[in-house]
Amino acid sequence: MPDGSGSYTLLGTAYPKLDAKGRFFLPAKMRSELEEGGMVLSRGPEACLIIEPAQVFWKRVNRQREVAAEAAGATVSRKDRYQEERSQRMWERGSMSESSAEGWDDQGRVLVPAGLRKYAGLERELFVQGYGDRIEVWDLTAWNELLARLDAEAKAQQEGDLMA
């Protein structure tokens, strides 16, 4: 549910398992935050999936459309305008092509369509985290690899700062 400002505060982590039918249990606390107005499951950045309230999904889509329209309007040539509009269409296709608004079943399981499972490389073990106004769904191995890469980058940055 939105907090007093109209924003969502989806927090917490879970380590569910994907079953043979491509479903996983979404924690009850997270489901309760999404109940009002439904949810959308879609592609996220860095090969994860995003579950977000439907109104947040459409707000994000509309915001992206506005930004693209402003960029297209600011371009000088027809070619540049066409490229901006084409970029917007491609973003929408990628973002919305396999999005699902099915929600969860009576047992709290979310069905992940095959195309989204493939996009995110979901195997059996998952990592799910509340991330403000959305929930990210990761393959656990991919999540651990991302964390290791981020840790290595942070260490390299610290070492570079010490050398300077």
Which tops the pLDDT comparison, 18 or 94?
18
Q: DSSP labels for the chain?
A: -B-TTS-B-B--EE--B--TTSEEEPPHHHHHHH-TT-EEEEE-GGG-EEEEEHHHHHHHHHHHHHHHHHHHHH-SSHHHHHHHHHHHHHHHHHHHTT-B---B-TTSEEE--HHHHHHHT--SBEEEEE-BSSEEEEEHHHHHHHHHHHHHHHHHHHHHHHH-
- Distance, CA of 67 to CA of 91 (rounded, Å): 12
Is residue 9 a contact partner of residue 132, using CB atoms and an 8 Å limit? yes
Block residue for tokens 């919305």: 96
Contacts of 37 by beta carbon, 8 Å cutoff, 6+ apart? 53, 54, 55
**Domains of the chain listed by start with CATH number:** 13-54+101-163 (3.40.1550.20)
Chain centroid to CA 87: 19
Which tops the pLDDT comparison, 41 or 33?
41
Which tops the pLDDT comparison, 32 or 162?
32
pLDDT tier at 89 (50, 70, 90 boundaries)? Answer: confident
| pLDDT of res. 159 | 79
Mean pLDDT, residues 34-51 taken together:
86
pTM of the model: 0.79
| pLDDT of res. 1 | 47
Give 27-51 as a 3 state SS string: CHHHHHHHCCCCEEEEECHHHCEEE
| pLDDT of res. 88 | 67
Count of alpha carbons within 13 angstroms of residue 21, beta-carbon side: 7
Is residue 113 a contact partner of residue 100, using CB atoms and an 8 Å limit? yes
Q: Which of 53-57, 120-124, 146-150 has the lowest mean pLDDT?
A: 53-57
Mean pLDDT, residues 96-111 taken together:
86
Is the pLDDT at 2 greater than 90? The verdict is no
